[in-house]
Structure 1
């Protein structure tokens, strides 16, 4: 079952990335964007998330074949350790991206998905990037077992991922003079600082939510961490 599921997710995500790169052309506000690799998709957190999900499910598939899906193996192979740590990040980013995208879309879709871009974007690709990532990662949460990383390690990995993207976002702005997301153009610098700080707090909250849901999916209601310790919830 897990092999079929992981294979299907990897196939869909990979095809969406391939299709986007070969058949979708988006308008960009400045010429510098058009010169970026991957058709400038790397400027969007959505693309980072989709690549992350694809990498995670690929590793999960490899673990199905050469690793172990035991509930709490005493000496898990390296591929299982990588899978378990990466899940905590993949879950956090998937929930955050979907919530942020559709939340802003409902408030004012021009803030996040202007009509000139939406018209060029096939709906199935949009949903693969912004919608399906949530049910896929939730299904994975409940059909597979993992040793969650310690909260210090897991949160640190999530915050480093967040910091890397925020630095990248600002680097693009200082290079082109354009914010990737239109809503940032109407924010003052103090509002931007508040927004990124709140985003980090929300990200940490989503991480803890994933940890709690992981404990609920375990029959003994116990979280086993990669450092060998465990905690009953």
Structure 2
């Protein structure tokens, strides 16, 4: 077993522990007694509606699957169990997690450097710790790199099968985002407040297109690991 494969289990376990600490940080934020600052109230009230939260949930699911998958290999569990864990791990990572994680980091920090008030107002820093912000928007890239570096012989995901699933996932989130405004008059991402409706629809379409592009990139990188007989990218 290669060194990278041996290190995968302890590394993913450490990442899992760090994610548990991040969950504690989010819970502490939710329980914090704050002023009537409207942005903080919105963050707490609609905490389950942020795409960052959706992506972090995917992270937790993926890391748990990775730990179980690596453990099944070490314990040499029945092949059927190993195959099921491996396929599910590959599906979650390639189809949803990788493109969503890159989207979160790219758009969050991209908008932040243009005008952070459009994505994460400076006033929030008083209540939301910097380490937690980086845990949700920066550190999450670490397991993406690890998974891409790990050797791979099986469980490759095809773009033509993954793309429709990702698009539906993105459309569902977009519908929820718009419904929040229609029902509560709230844009949980301040950047949408400065847009007209055509601009909002365009921005959501752009986000989806970038997400699909990230999907293609991730699958293409994984396909470079195919054995020579099946090296063709589908």
Aligning the two structures, in what range does the TM-score lie when normalised by the shorter sequence?
0.7 to 0.9
Residue 144 of structure 1, CA deviation? 4.6
| Deviation sequence 1:53-93 (CA, Å, 0-9, x none) | 1111111111112258xxxx999622211111001121111
Residue 179 of structure 1, CA deviation? 0.6
1:5 pairs with 2:11: yes
Secondary structure, counterpart of 2:183 in structure 1: helix
Contact 1:173 1:179 in 2 (8 A): yes
1:133 aligned residue: 140
TM-score, structure 2 length as denominator?
0.83
1:210 pairs with 2:210: no
| Deviation sequence 1:179-205 (CA, Å, 0-9, x none) | 111110111110011111111111111
2:54 aligned residue: 48
1:80 to 1:182, Cα distance in 2 relative to 1, 3 A: same
Point out where structure 2 has 5 or more consecutive residues left out of the alignment: 1-6
Greater helix share, structure number = 2
1:166 aligned residue: 174
1:91 to 1:33, Cα distance in 2 relative to 1, 3 A: closer
Contact 1:67 1:80 in 2 (8 A): no
Residue 7 of structure 1, CA deviation? 0.7
Point out where structure 1 has 5 or more consecutive residues left out of the alignment: 223-229
1:105 aligned residue: 112
Over the aligned positions, Cα root-mean-square deviation in angstroms equals: 2.6
1:58 to 1:74, Cα distance in 2 relative to 1, 3 A: closer
2:126 aligned residue: 119
In the aligned structure 2, how far is the partner of 1:221 from the partner of 1:96? 31
TM-score, structure 1 length as denominator?
0.84
1:20 pairs with 2:26: yes
Residue 110 of structure 1, CA deviation? 0.2
Residue 117 of structure 1, CA deviation? 1.4
